[in-house]
Chains A and B, each alone.
Chain A
């Protein structure tokens, strides 16, 4: 995501870090004043404090002047205030800034905070994972990378549209036929339906999406070698015989390295964001004012 941001806007991530590093003593420390209503909780005060710090950083880098979304929004505000104005966009923007509109507008604040948070998550090259770290990440979070177990089963279908009122009787007859055939495959039995295959290997989720919960539940039970049915779906009646049921499997790193890397980096970004935010918090001098 950092590249996405780099893509369109100047980024202050490195600058954030640099600012923190050069913070030095209190005399050089940046300051913010947080105005809160009386009775605000400590958590609310801390949240607003952190927002004000990020907004101040955005202000220090002039983002409110260079961000296209801030610009168009403030111009829109000005045109809303005075629909008859003949001033051009740039003039209206300056007027909005002169009114300090950017400090209070929730859309502008949200935009600048977004940019600031994205910048906090910048991942430098030296934080990129090694293969060993990826392997560790994979084994520590198997639930994130497991593949759903597959069920291989035989499938016979009777179309409700085609058979109409005889569907029930045809279903009973098909059940007898299947039982009589024993272990023989159901070759040549049933009706065609686009995408329905005589033998398929699929997930229980796919079965549910295609044919509904009843069929999925039976397939999920995974009783091997027994014809089950008739089972209703929106299409008609189904008979299934499970041949094999495989449990969920965690693929080796070689097969999912890019996926693991993406997941790992998401965590790194979160960690770096927290670390940098805390560093910024420590660097700032914060005044809290209370209003009634």
Chain B
């Protein structure tokens, strides 16, 4: 029985007054959540908070968080659950694995500050699967597998027997189901029906899903103080062939479907969207949901394919669905940046920032280098989307941007380079031992926050900001960027205390659309940003313009404020920043090459002065010793890939061909451009020398913020 049939049957059972699935009696398939809380709430509408502002305020949050409820996090030794995660977001320290016998964590993550909103996004897959086999009350508990249909499958009896026999391959077998192709993926047979049904697992999952809702309700501040906003959500974890096609599903309110939609339920993304519309957006219950794609950088070039599940080119309906249900994309998180490909034809030296040398999830887990490609990145999708819009009338990739952590240690907002303990997930688990060297795969990073401009810190205000794309991303620091675009913006707006009021009156904010250029007039942009008081000053503001030129899309980067040559740097011996920067910057900018007939987008990138990357910070703090390396941290820091002990790499490069040398020069962090070739070069050298030629970590980084684009649509 499929999920939808099962839900239908449950509701029918309920209507007969029989015991059915869960406690819901709404008859809709959507529930009011907060099972423990009574289920009756005061109206939650924009304007209910004491501090509400129609000109909007910046808020920071994290919408990608895994707790003990996610199978991978659980098996990596993560113990904190949803309530703990919400507490961490509001400033409480949290235990981090490993744990001692007394249950005390041997490491503690302490937030450097609280954040405003959080959505937990535990994997929808397996929310109920294992529970079904461990609950004697579940019908699946005593049922052996029907191997006539699937000889390789497990029933709960075999599942437990295999565990009893110590065959933990069962866990790998379960996990592997998310990496099967869509046509082959399915619930494990132990869920009850060897023909692909999952009623028993779905039944078991209801309790877990209710726990997710209860925790969100307990954390949500429904008073007019609006100190914290929580969102009910989950992650749909499609990974065919270990290619990442994941989406986080975010609900506007406590009214949510009876169960999440997993990859096993709907293995194609368009069916996920249809399911969200059917179960939620068009259910008439008040339920509202969006999906947030992420990690296009780990999709081996497939994330922005322009074909549907049947291999047919997108049609308008598909494009509209994607446009409507996926207004936002993660452009940055723990598993790398997805903004732009460092080998783009245009000159953009900042594209190398935190780009992973892995093209998919398996390569990341196994740390197998391979080339990323230009189609893995959001900037490419922005161009492709404009091209599709020409023929379809709608841009399926008209995304706004946010960042996230994707933490698997239940630590939302834990994105400070200075305190990074690793996030687990695709990275290093540290389940059994305190790491003696780096606490995570060195190419991963702490992630960053989702920024929004919203009237107040309430669910509806933030959800609406996501929908209209008035969002921004940062690589960790709470940089606050703001931009307005319009044709009538005054050139002195930077000097006006009425900056925001005028911006909204005469223009559109980040995420907005400009249309109808009057008399072909070029659009104007007023962009401002302020530094994070806990981080480095700003170096500059850039506007990245992309436009459609016939069948080609083009990109140009403009420095519009600050100074790229301000001389600021960082002392890699101490990690002390040096030089001056700006606490705030503002600029008025008019597109100098505007063609009113060409589609275009404009997004803002705010760049900080250089600071040490987390890996360099940990090396400096450990007082690493490359002359006499004895500790793991010495070996980690002194490995040439870490970028801290690479003087000899220039000598290595001098002996190589020009192309080979490009891989191995110490000042070439973009060896990621040609990972396969560079690895071949490395293999011709000794181990120490070869490390020079592997993808290099940046020792110092320039933290940054990105705004959602403002889109220009020509009048057709």
A and B associate in one complex: yes
Q: Which residues of A contact B (CB under 8 A)?
A: 1, 3-4, 6-11, 47, 51, 62, 65-66, 68-69, 71-73, 75-76, 89-90, 93-94, 97, 106-107, 109-110, 113-114, 117, 128, 131, 147-148, 150, 159-162, 187-195, 197-198, 200-203, 209-212, 233-236, 249, 251, 254-259, 261-262, 266
Contact assessment for B101 and A234 in the assembled complex, using a CB-CB cutoff below 8 Å:
no
Q: A210–B584 Cα gap in the complex (Å)?
A: 13
B131 within 8 A of A: yes
| Chain B contacts for A69, CB-based, 8 A | 75, 77, 431
Contact assessment for B583 and A90 in the assembled complex, using a CB-CB cutoff below 8 Å:
no
Contact digits for B129-142, partner A, Cβ 8 Å, 1 yes 0 no? 01100110000000
A194 touching B480 in the complex, CB below 8 Å, given contacts A113-B102, A114-B79, A159-B584: yes
| Chain B contacts for A257, CB-based, 8 A | 37-38
Contact assessment for A258 and B218 in the assembled complex, using a CB-CB cutoff below 8 Å:
yes
B533 within 8 A of A: yes
Question: Closest CB-CB distance, B533 to chain A, in whole Å?
Answer: 5
Closest to A196 in B: B530
| Chain A contacts for B77, CB-based, 8 A | 69
Most buried by A among B135, B166, B219: B166
| Chain B contacts for A62, CB-based, 8 A | 164
Contact digits for B479-512, partner A, Cβ 8 Å, 1 yes 0 no? 0111000000000001111111000000000000
B661 within 8 A of A: no
B314 within 8 A of A: no
Question: Closest CB-CB distance, B96 to chain A, in whole Å?
Answer: 14
Closest to A92 in B: B166
Closest to A109 in B: B101
Cβ < 8 Å to A, chain B residues 100-117: 100-103, 113
B550 within 8 A of A: no
Name 10 A/B residue pairs within 8 A (Cβ), A-sorted.
A7-B69, A10-B134, A62-B164, A65-B166, A97-B166, A195-B482, A203-B227, A211-B533, A258-B36, A262-B214
B585 within 8 A of A: yes
B186 within 8 A of A: no
A192 touching B497 in the complex, CB below 8 Å, given contacts A90-B165, A159-B583, A235-B584: yes
B648 within 8 A of A: no
Closest to A110 in B: B101
| Chain A contacts for B499, CB-based, 8 A | 192
Contact digits for B64-96, partner A, Cβ 8 Å, 1 yes 0 no? 000111010011010101010000000000000
Closest to B57 in A: A195
| Chain A contacts for B71, CB-based, 8 A | 8
Contact assessment for B69 and A4 in the assembled complex, using a CB-CB cutoff below 8 Å:
yes
Closest to A73 in B: B432
Contact assessment for B163 and A65 in the assembled complex, using a CB-CB cutoff below 8 Å:
yes
Closest to A234 in B: B533
Most buried by A among B67, B102, B433: B102
Contact assessment for B134 and A11 in the assembled complex, using a CB-CB cutoff below 8 Å:
yes
| Chain A contacts for B37, CB-based, 8 A | 257-258, 261
| Chain B contacts for A266, CB-based, 8 A | 83
Contact assessment for B51 and A150 in the assembled complex, using a CB-CB cutoff below 8 Å:
yes
Q: A56–B221 Cα gap in the complex (Å)?
A: 43
| Chain A contacts for B166, CB-based, 8 A | 65, 71, 89-90, 93-94, 97
Contact digits for B594-626, partner A, Cβ 8 Å, 1 yes 0 no? 000000000000000000000000000000000
Report how many residues on chain B are interfacial, defined by Cβ distance under 8 Å: 81
| Chain A contacts for B219, CB-based, 8 A | 259
| Chain B contacts for A66, CB-based, 8 A | 160, 163-164
Contact assessment for B130 and A7 in the assembled complex, using a CB-CB cutoff below 8 Å:
yes
Contact assessment for B211 and A3 in the assembled complex, using a CB-CB cutoff below 8 Å:
yes
Q: A190–B211 Cα gap in the complex (Å)?
A: 49
B99 within 8 A of A: yes
Question: Closest CB-CB distance, A158 to chain B, in whole Å?
Answer: 11
Of the candidates B55, B167, B208, B583, which one forms a contact with A160 in the assembled complex, judged by CB atoms under 8 Å apart?
Answer: B583
Question: Closest CB-CB distance, A269 to chain B, in whole Å?
Answer: 11
Contact assessment for A7 and B75 in the assembled complex, using a CB-CB cutoff below 8 Å:
no
| Chain A contacts for B585, CB-based, 8 A | 161
A194 touching B83 in the complex, CB below 8 Å, given contacts A201-B50, A259-B219: no
Contact assessment for B223 and A255 in the assembled complex, using a CB-CB cutoff below 8 Å:
yes
Cβ < 8 Å to A, chain B residues 186-227: 207-208, 210-211, 214-215, 217-223, 225, 227
| Chain A contacts for B113, CB-based, 8 A | 209
B573 within 8 A of A: no
| Chain A contacts for B460, CB-based, 8 A | none
Of the candidates A73, A107, A194, A236, which one forms a contact with B58 in the assembled complex, judged by CB atoms under 8 Å apart?
Answer: A194
Contact assessment for B127 and A256 in the assembled complex, using a CB-CB cutoff below 8 Å:
no
Contact assessment for A262 and B75 in the assembled complex, using a CB-CB cutoff below 8 Å:
no
Contact assessment for B533 and A210 in the assembled complex, using a CB-CB cutoff below 8 Å:
yes
Contact digits for B33-68, partner A, Cβ 8 Å, 1 yes 0 no? 010111000100000001101010110000000011
| Chain B contacts for A193, CB-based, 8 A | 528, 530, 584
Question: Closest CB-CB distance, A136 to chain B, in whole Å?
Answer: 16
Which secondary structure dominates where chain A touches chain B? helix
| Chain A contacts for B299, CB-based, 8 A | none
B427 within 8 A of A: no
The 3 closest A-B pairs by CB, nearest first: A258-B37, A192-B499, A262-B218
Q: A233–B537 Cα gap in the complex (Å)?
A: 13
B238 within 8 A of A: no
A9 touching B134 in the complex, CB below 8 Å, given contacts A72-B168, A107-B98, A193-B584: yes
Q: A51–B101 Cα gap in the complex (Å)?
A: 8
Contact assessment for B51 and A202 in the assembled complex, using a CB-CB cutoff below 8 Å:
yes
Closest to B163 in A: A66
Closest to B37 in A: A258
| Chain B contacts for A187, CB-based, 8 A | 497
Most buried by A among B171, B207, B585, B586: B586
Q: A234–B536 Cα gap in the complex (Å)?
A: 10
Q: A113–B220 Cα gap in the complex (Å)?
A: 33
| Chain B contacts for A117, CB-based, 8 A | 103
Q: A209–B535 Cα gap in the complex (Å)?
A: 12
Question: Closest CB-CB distance, B132 to chain A, in whole Å?
Answer: 10
Contact assessment for A110 and B481 in the assembled complex, using a CB-CB cutoff below 8 Å:
no
Q: A106–B101 Cα gap in the complex (Å)?
A: 7
B441 within 8 A of A: no
Contact assessment for A255 and B134 in the assembled complex, using a CB-CB cutoff below 8 Å:
no
Closest to A250 in B: B223
B582 within 8 A of A: yes
Q: A76–B77 Cα gap in the complex (Å)?
A: 15
Question: Closest CB-CB distance, B448 to chain A, in whole Å?
Answer: 17
A194 touching B529 in the complex, CB below 8 Å, given contacts A148-B227, A159-B583: yes
B593 within 8 A of A: no
Question: Closest CB-CB distance, A96 to chain B, in whole Å?
Answer: 9
A150 touching B164 in the complex, CB below 8 Å, given contacts A8-B131, A235-B584: no
B531 within 8 A of A: yes
Q: A72–B431 Cα gap in the complex (Å)?
A: 11
Question: Closest CB-CB distance, B430 to chain A, in whole Å?
Answer: 12
Question: Closest CB-CB distance, A53 to chain B, in whole Å?
Answer: 13
Closest to A252 in B: B223
Closest to B87 in A: A262
Closest to A112 in B: B101
Closest to B169 in A: A89
Question: Closest CB-CB distance, A1 to chain B, in whole Å?
Answer: 5
Question: Closest CB-CB distance, A44 to chain B, in whole Å?
Answer: 12
| Chain A contacts for B79, CB-based, 8 A | 114
Contact assessment for B528 and A192 in the assembled complex, using a CB-CB cutoff below 8 Å:
yes
A110 touching B208 in the complex, CB below 8 Å, given contacts A192-B496, A258-B37: no
Question: Closest CB-CB distance, A128 to chain B, in whole Å?
Answer: 8
Q: A189–B210 Cα gap in the complex (Å)?
A: 51
Of the candidates A51, A68, A254, A262, which one forms a contact with B168 in the assembled complex, judged by CB atoms under 8 Å apart?
Answer: A68
Question: Closest CB-CB distance, B514 to chain A, in whole Å?
Answer: 21
Question: Closest CB-CB distance, B647 to chain A, in whole Å?
Answer: 34
Closest to A149 in B: B225
Q: A147–B225 Cα gap in the complex (Å)?
A: 7
Contact assessment for A150 and B101 in the assembled complex, using a CB-CB cutoff below 8 Å:
no
